[in-house]
Amino acid sequence: MPEWRKDPILEKWVVIATERGKRPSDFKVPKEEKKGYECPLCEHHEAETPPEVLSYRERETESNRPGWWVRVVSNKFPALKIEGNSEIRKQGPYQLMDGVGAHEVVVETPDHRKSLENLNEYQVREVIRAWRDRSLDLRHDTRFKYIQIFKNFGSVAGASLDHPHSQIIATPMVPAYAFEKMGGLTKHARLTGNCILCDIIQNERQDPQRVVVESQQFISMTPFASRSPFETWIIPREHQADYGHIREDQVGDLAYVLRSTLKKISAALDQPPYNMVIVTAPVNYFSLDLAHFHWHIEIMPRLTTAAGFELGTGFYINPTPPEMAAAELREAVPEYDETFKNNIEVVEKYV
Amino acid sequence: MPEWRKDPILEKWVVIATERGKRPSDFKVPKEEKKGYECPLCEHHEAETPPEVLSYRERETESNRPGWWVRVVSNKFPALKIEGNSEIRKQGPYQLMDGVGAHEVVVETPDHRKSLENLNEYQVREVIRAWRDRSLDLRHDTRFKYIQIFKNFGSVAGASLDHPHSQIIATPMVPAYAFEKMGGLTKHARLTGNCILCDIIQNERQDPQRVVVESQQFISMTPFASRSPFETWIIPREHQADYGHIREDQVGDLAYVLRSTLKKISAALDQPPYNMVIVTAPVNYFSLDLAHFHWHIEIMPRLTTAAGFELGTGFYINPTPPEMAAAELREAVPEYDETFKNNIEVVEKYV
């Protein structure tokens, strides 16, 4: 019997196929070859991007020159532009606004041939810091109400560049998804005095059938009402509203959990395309409800296609129970080193 | 300058790229070959499907035998099952329910080689009637609160069968999307005394830059805040809450507008994959707000990939302004007859 399961924060339902659940081998994971080994995001190509807004680099090297290990630049083809007016205009029955926003690319490594989970832990920590530092800087522009940090891996997941990168878009309004999350968290807090995500962490640790990786500070788990196969969330165990407030002791821990989780997904599903988003509290927005937010990372491997039913209803149909997905991920041996060696020469500098 | 535009019903924002808008030739439309010319949905294969729940057929032919022109069967691999209990159970901090629901397949023609827009108008009217008749029948099961009628065309859009078909899923709860639509329509009605969709129809007819096809009873248009390129809606011009209440004089008109719209999309974009959903009022659900609903059809060609930004925010980025899309669709000559003749022999019986 399939099951309807309710997302405890959004109160949206998903359908979980509990019989004949799909295992990793049941999915046709689209394989993608990297196109070439050089691109505008590579070291020595700094002049081909807009100037950097942040870089972590060797002492005595100049901006927009080689010597960096993480680099953030404005998107050359931004979806939104920094200039413009954030006032709402009317047009007949409609409302519109200039396409104000910031759109940045976080280059996660100078090495085209890597992927986020194959970077060493120091480098992953630096990527996590770059996300944090840009989030803290972008909010100085008080027009921005939300900083969306996200990563698309593989063209099926919407990536147009091979080079390991993530993106940041700052928007002049709070997105629906963040509003809905804040609404659900606030409602539960008012009813029970507790944070539902804190409650869930406690529940999952007692009965760890959906736990993938756990550390002192973070838990990685497949949510009870997973929308798609192998959806995995990484949640700080301590209640914390704003990703921008991540502490240094958490950064190291998150690097371990993020890297391990991505390695397991890559090993279990043969490096599938995926989307990753950081869901966090709005900025420059004043409400007591902000304190109810509990930021987290959502990773969605792209193994199924959301189609008419999902579009028309908002319900998702998930053919892999999250308990099965978590078991597969726990058991997955990250064999990346072997496959990696077969494919390309390891550039020790960045390993 | 890109533009933020607000969906007037859902009050969600989308980003419209107004400069260098993408024209049809800028999209790589995945081409798909039909796999073979026979399948379980074809005439003479009736025994390979679950028994029919509805068929329109020749006099003196028997059910589950040839002689039908539209046939509705239960899905052989249903996402939801008719047996079970629609009571909500608790499991720790979570809620769940048996996977209750109905899942049916509407076979739109006995001819494997056709597509919905290439059927003649009589046949399209019969498909529209089958959707209506199943909607009216399924609601007799009062566990069901919503009847989702939808169509996936092409594997990129989630279709697993080539044979022209649509699907119906009845669910034991009102989906989020219908709730949000009803909420937006009700809010506007309370503020202004008017239906926002009725207002929009009036506005678009006065300034028809987004109109694609218009008839006595229906209008087909690209919405002001289109989420994706060439998104097209078909809306009854008269306020009507429930698709199940479509009248016979509307059926003929809708067949014309639906067929013309799909032909134009097919001609302009070279038969792209698409999803189509009917957004309509909940059933077996008692609220004065039901009367504020205004049903409509949403057609979404699958030309772009919703990725991390869309997942994390609920905002969409649309590279084709709807005004440009509507102009392309208005001008598109449906050359389907020519291409059709080149590909396959026309079976006159069903043309």
Of A13, A98, A148, the CB nearest to B173: A13
Are B196 and A307 inside 8 Å of each other by CB? no
* Residue in B with minimal Cα distance to A98: B3
A296 is catalytic: no
Nearest to A312 by CA among B170, B53, B326, B187: B170
**B28 neighbourhood in chain A, CB within 8 Å:** none
Q: How far is B33 from B40, CA to CA, in rounded Å?
A: 18
Of B17, B199, B314, the CB nearest to A176: B314
- Strands across the sheet containing B165-171: B52-57, B68-74, B102-107, B165-171, B146-153, B274-279, B296-301, B232-236, B218-221, B211-214
Amino acid at A5: R
**B13 neighbourhood in chain A, CB within 8 Å:** 173
Q: Write out residues 109-168 of A within 8 Å (CB-CB) of B.
A: 146, 148, 150-152, 156-159, 167
Question: Would you call B96 an interface residue with chain A, using a CB distance cutoff of 8 Å?
Answer: yes
Q: Convert the pLDDT of each residue in A293-322 to its tens digit.
A: 999 999 999 999 999 999 999 999 999 999
Q: Which residue segments constitute the domains of chain A, with CATH numbers given? A: 3-343 (3.30.428.10)
Question: Would you call B309 an interface residue with chain A, using a CB distance cutoff of 8 Å?
Answer: yes
Would you state the pLDDT for residue B339?
Answer: 38
Element (H, E) at A167: strand A165-171
Question: Would you call B47 an interface residue with chain A, using a CB distance cutoff of 8 Å?
Answer: no
Q: How far is B55 from B327, CA to CA, in rounded Å?
A: 39
Geometric angle at alpha carbon B349, from B346 and B351, rounded to 5°: 55
Would you state the pLDDT for residue A338?
Answer: 40
For residue B334, name the pLDDT band (cuts at 50, 70, 90): low
Residue B89 near residue B99, CB atoms below 8 Å = no
Amino acid at A210: R
Would you state the pLDDT for residue B28?
Answer: 82
Of A79, A177, A313, the CB nearest to B312: A177
Mean pLDDT of B31-55: 89
Question: Would you call A192 an interface residue with chain B, using a CB distance cutoff of 8 Å?
Answer: no
More confident residue, B156 or B338: B156
Nearest to B230 by CA among B197, B176, B198, B270: B270
Residue B47 near residue B288, CB atoms below 8 Å = no
Contacts within 8 Å (CB) and 24+ apart, B40-45: B40/B76, B41/B105, B41/B107, B41/B112, B41/B161, B41/B163, B41/B165, B42/B110, B42/B111, B42/B112, B42/B163, B43/B68, B43/B110, B43/B111
Q: pLDDT tens digits, chain A, 351 residues: what are they?
A: 899 999 999 999 999 987 777 888 888 877 777 777 789 999 999 999 999 999 999 999 999 999 999 999 999 989 999 998 889 999 999 999 999 999 999 999 999 999 999 999 999 999 999 999 999 999 999 999 999 999 999 999 999 899 999 999 999 999 999 999 999 999 999 999 999 999 999 999 999 999 999 999 999 999 999 999 999 999 999 999 999 999 999 999 999 999 999 999 999 999 999 999 999 999 999 998 999 999 999 999 999 999 999 999 999 999 999 999 999 999 996 644 443 333 333 333 333
Residues of B forming the active site: 165
**Which two tokens mark B122?**
């009589």
Q: Write out residues 233-292 of A within 8 Å (CB-CB) of B.
A: 275-279
Are A298 and B312 inside 8 Å of each other by CB? yes
- pTM beyond cutoff 0.90: yes
Question: Would you call A207 an interface residue with chain B, using a CB distance cutoff of 8 Å?
Answer: yes
Q: Convert the pLDDT of each residue in B148-163 to its tens digit.
A: 999 999 999 999 899 9
Nearest to B227 by CA among B16, B11, B9: B16
Of B5, B8, B177, the CB nearest to A313: B177
| Active-site residue, selected from the candidate residues A103, A112, A163, A165 | A165
